[in-house]
Amino acid sequence: DAGVTQSPTHLIKTRGQQVTLRCSPKSGHDTVSWYQQALGQGPQFIFQYYEEEERQRGNFPDRFSGHQFPNYSSELNVNALLLGDSALYLCASSFRLADNTGELFFGEGSRLTVL
Amino acid sequence: QQPVQSPQAVILREGEDAVINCSSSKALYSVHWYRQKHGEAPVFLMILLKGGEQKGHEKISASFNEKKQQSSLYLTASQLSYSGTYFCGTETPDSWGKLQFGAGTQVVVTP
């Protein structure tokens, strides 16, 4: 059973460019959450997608946008990249429960470096 | 709002115990604990829902005091495999699905 897969694993961009990161959730999961993790810090919640809609959003600017497809896979798009966007981007999938976020399964992440 | 974890780091010898604390200024609905080893993805340990549940995972257990909006993770008789960074994640009743993590507690277990 494949777990959460993310691509690409590493990428380098320059300031002002745009990037798209992709995530395939664990089989049977219908919810995808995206996190940004700077070096030595905890994961910061970006947003969560369920039924192809953004359900929750953290304190990130509109430059960060996402999408969820009918097969539950998801994309994270970041426009007008800044140096401060350099981080590990983690995708986490889960099965939506009625009253709480269930167990999150994390992918290995996409390491973004902005020069 | 992110939860606050303490201590920032702890060094243990095999067999010793440790406690990691997680506190929030907001009323909590659930607390989650994850462990991340260097260069790896965070791995789920346990979820605690409001009601003061105490759960366990091997010799790792946790408690949740909803009145104090605090959770504690207990590492008992630590093993080398317990080394890593532990994160608590919290949800509030009005924003479930928005799991916010603390800055983490780095645990090093030495022989």
C-beta atoms of A35 and B101 within 8 A: yes
Q: What is the pLDDT at residue B53?
A: 64
DSSP A52-97: TEEEEE-S--TTEEEEE-TTS-EEEEE-S--GGG-EEEEEEEEPPP
Could you tell me the CATH number of the domain that includes residue A100? 2.60.40.10
Q: What is the pLDDT of residue A20?
A: 98
Structural domain including A75 reads 16-110
A11 in a structural domain: no
Query: Mind listing the pLDDT tens digit for each residue in B10-22?
Result: 999 999 999 999 9
Count CB pairs under 8 A between chains A and B. Answer: 65
Kindly list the residues from chain A whose CB atom is less than 8 angstroms away from the CB atom of residue B47.
100, 102-103
pLDDT score, position A96: 78
Question: Helix/strand/coil (H, E, C) string of chain B?
Answer: CCCEEECCEEEEECCCCEEEEEECCCCCCEEEEEEECCCCCCEEEEEEECCCCEEEECCEEEEEECCCCEEEEEECCCCHHHCEEEEEEEECCCCCCCCEECCCEEEEEEC
Straight-line distance from the first to the last Cα atom of chain B, in angstroms, rounded to the nearest whole number: 37
* Per-residue pLDDT at B54: 62
Is the model's pLDDT at B23 over the cut of 80? Answer: yes
What's the rounded Cα separation, in Å, for the pair B32 and A97?
Answer: 15
User: Does residue B3 belong to the interface with chain A, where contact is any CB pair within 8 Å?
Assistant: no
B56 pLDDT higher than 70: no
Domain of residue B18: give its range: 4-110
Q: Please tell me the total count of domains within chain B.
A: 1
Whether A7 is in a domain gets the answer: no
Percent of chain B whose predicted confidence (pLDDT) is above 90 = 66
CB contact under 8 A, B103 and A55: no
* Cβ contact, residue pair A58, B40, below 8 Å: no
Q: What is the CATH number of the domain that holds B18?
A: 2.60.40.10
- The residue ranges of chain A whose pLDDT is under 70 are 1, 98-100
* Residue in chain A lying closest to B90 (CA): A101
d(CA A73, CA A67): 8
Closest Cα of chain A to B11: distance in Å?
17
**Structural domains of chain A, count:** 1
Q: Is the pLDDT of residue B100 over 70?
A: yes
Is B99 within 8 Å of A101 when comparing Cβ atoms?
Answer: yes
Q: Hey, which residues 27-66 in chain B have their CB within 8 Å of chain A?
A: 29-30, 32, 34, 40-44, 47, 49
Residue A10 lies in a domain: no
pLDDT for position B29? 86
- pLDDT of B101 strictly over 90: yes
At residue B40, does pLDDT exceed 80? yes
